[in-house]
């Protein structure tokens, strides 16, 4: 545990993470929206397919956040909570308060977001770094 983070602050983050964990686990149980509905009407089929895709996307995002929450709880247990996994610097308390399951400081997260955006736009990220 870092000396700057008190046990009280750490316990507060643990409680927030456990609350988010319970919320996500309960939310992931609602899978009725994934059922494939059949209809003779083409527009109804399209709407059902769209709703299903949205539900799948929501479940995927929820699963990813749950994975990050569980990892953050493990970092609390291993005394590495609040340390950026990329640069190993401290993550600001403001960022941890806003997103306690974060794995990166704001600088590393912004760099990852820029890299992801560049990759998604079809430009090879290594070419951008080389330039």
Residues 29-47 pLDDT 10s: 656 655 666 667 888 888 8
* Number of neighbouring beta carbons within 10 Å of residue 65: 17
- Please report, to the nearest 10 degrees, the dihedral formed by the alpha carbons of residues 60, 64, 65, 70 taken in order: 140
Residues 63-109 pLDDT 10s: 999 999 999 999 999 999 999 999 999 999 999 999 999 999 999 99
Q: What percent of the chain has pLDDT over 90?
A: 53
pLDDT of res. 20: 95
Q: Enter the pTM of the model.
A: 0.72
Nearest alpha-carbon partner for 82 in 102, 68, 67? 102
Domain boundaries, the chain: 1-81, 84-131
């Amino acid at each position: 545990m870092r000396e700057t983070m008190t046990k009280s602050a750490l316990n507060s983050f643990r409680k927030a993470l456990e609350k988010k964990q319970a919320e996500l686990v309960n939310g992931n149980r609602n899978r009725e929206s994934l059922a494939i509905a059949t209809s003779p009407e083409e527009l109804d089929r399209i709407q059902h397919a769209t709703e299903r895709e949205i539900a799948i996307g929501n479940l995927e995002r929820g699963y990813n956040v749950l994975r990050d929450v569980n990892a953050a709880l493990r970092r609390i247990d291993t005394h590495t909570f609040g340390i950026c996994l990329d640069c190993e610097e401290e993550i600001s308390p403001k960022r941890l308060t806003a997103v306690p399951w974060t794995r990166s400081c704001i600088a590393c997260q912004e760099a990852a977001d820029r890299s992801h955006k560049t990759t998604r736009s079809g430009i090879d990220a290594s070419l951008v770094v080389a330039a």
